[in-house]
Chain A
């Protein structure tokens, strides 16, 4: 909670400024939302409400913020969570491959891929995949989380998956880069170590070493990197959800921002900050635990 707090008072200032309606109406709406009260009052009222579990009312969706979040959290979780997990697994595998072949062509290909993706606008890649796979090839649906004209309840699992696959692929492609680079560096370190020299002397092949020494030693740094990149995946998901019209929290954020829906925006910001700071904390904790000096002390 502490981590998110500085954003909130700043945001509370927005309330009165952003209601873009006629002046009289504006005053009416402002009064009904309690926006005519002094800003600190508003903020403390909001903070008090949040602490007691009331997130407020979303003007963009015309329903309580908690309901908007509940409706969309699952869609976001499916997309972002899966992309996050997949990029962890794939990134680790790619990193191992790059580290084991350091300096040779698989390593070069993977590194060029990672650096290029770091410089690619997420939303542009998303648009390209749409243009290629949905429009030109017609393999994947062009938008949303289900066929147009079908109620969300009636969408089958297969259809859901069909719609999920493109955004998932794009987000994963981005998530992979960081993890792969971290894993690669760690694995190269492992290969330079004395125990690998010993293993080599005993006749172990490169893949033996990767299996027995690499996976264990590079695994936790990769996991740490995975938790630390949570924020980037969430940021990327905002863009991907926008391009693919995926009905998740990212799209809700954009909608809330464009329509001046402060309560919703703040709720999402709060949620994200909580998630990301938890992720960072886990990453810090993992780093601390794997530090050999500290580990030696606790044993």
Chain B
């Protein structure tokens, strides 16, 4: 847990520092140094345009972090919104549950493809698509939490004291949902990053001009047959380390937040 948190923090810091420190210089095309094998000068080798893969991977990870954070954040907001609607009970609750179940019926990737296609691709489309497709699971968790809180005696007390509905929600219900929402965000984050990369790889995601991991891997696809393995190995491995550390962090936090249901 602590080591995962530390690793994630170090990773973010490294990614941020190096993508900022290396700046544009690191990923400038240098056609004299095309497709070089990994060496001391280029630890990860260079790509088909002579760009240093290490620098480019760092930029890619920074981009992944940004897109992932935005998408997961937006998704948590949607989940909270749906939970809020659920809170009114009755028809509103049934409707919210119906929509949640509907969204769960589509495989993520298929839904992502459709959404991103609908929006015409690009960064904003990916963020939106990932956000829209990932909230249902969290919404379910939050709804369970909400039902628990709603039946608590302090809610009744608050109402009996003549507090307005809005006051009760803000001061008594929301603080109880936020920890779960935070854990939800952390659990969603690695998924968002992975799905962004997959979507970009398939050609529906970030613009090919940006140094995204998905773009790099889809370029690398064309060089696999020629035995240029480093183009594929390093960016993917970096992504794996990033996602894994957040996954471990997220699931250990979940174990803290709800020990009983976190066994799987």
Contact = CB atoms under 8 A, between A and B. Distances in A.
A121 B105 contact: no
Contacts, number: 139
B190 interface: yes
Nearest to B235: A124
A113 interface: no
B102 A123 contact: no
A234 interface: yes
B236 interface: yes
Interface stretch (A151-159, A194-202, A235-243): A235-243
Given A115-B248, A119-B243, A272 B106 contact: yes
Nearest to B248: A115
Given A116-B244, A254-B202, A257-B204, A127 B221 contact: yes
Contact of B105 (A119, A238, A276): A276
B194 interface: yes
B232 A269 contact: no
A61 interface: no
Contact of B106 (A13, A131, A231, A254): A231
Residue among B104, B110, B233, B240 with max Cβ neighbours from chain A (10 Å): B110
B44 interface: no
B118 A10 contact: yes
Contacts of A232: 107-108
A273 interface: yes
Contact of B107 (A6, A135, A254, A276): A276
A181 B244 contact: no
Contacts of B236: 121, 124, 127-128
A14 interface: yes
B240 A124 contact: yes
B11 to A, nearest CB: 13
Contact of A185 (B108, B225, B229, B264): B264
B110 A235 contact: yes
B109 A235 contact: yes
A260 B116 CA distance: 12
A124 B229 contact: no
Contacts of A182: 264
A276 to B, nearest CB: 6
B203 interface: yes
A135 B105 contact: no
Interface in B230-260: 232-233, 236, 239-240, 243-244, 247-248
Nearest to B197: A121
Contacts of B108: 231-232, 235
B107 A272 contact: yes
A3 B104 CA distance: 9
Interface in B84-119: 99, 101-102, 104-111, 113-114, 117-118
Interface string A110-136: 000001101111111001101100011
B146 interface: no
Nearest to B217: A124
Contact of B114 (A7, A130, A239): A7
9 contacts: A3-B102, A18-B120, A115-B244, A123-B198, A123-B217, A135-B229, A231-B108, A239-B109, A272-B106
